[in-house]
Amino acid sequence: MNDAPLPYAFGQRFATLDAYLAHLKQRAGPIDLPWWRQIGPDLFEQVRGRGAPAAQAERATRAELMHRFGFER
């Protein structure tokens, strides 16, 4: 369980990275906030809102996202 504050978690806590990423897709994406889409077996790409600058999309591995957001498994 991640007890650290997470971006766009809306006060919720998540046991796994996958649960957090699903939350972002379902809750943050529809209101134009960033979320992460899986684009490969171990690769994710950040999806940003329509008002975000047209920069190259950020990519990260599962391990990088787990470290970034404080998940152990």
* pLDDT tens figures, 9-55: 999 999 999 999 999 999 998 898 999 999 999 999 999 877 666 66
pTM score of the predicted model: 0.85
Query: Both tokens of residue 56?
Result: 């190259």
Helix (H) or strand (E) holding 61: strand 59-61
Q: What single-letter amino acid sits at 30?
A: P
Q: Please give the distance of CA 20 from its chain centroid, rounded to a whole number.
A: 7
Q: How many CB atoms lie within 10 A of CB 45?
A: 15
Q: How many CB atoms lie within 10 A of CB 44?
A: 21
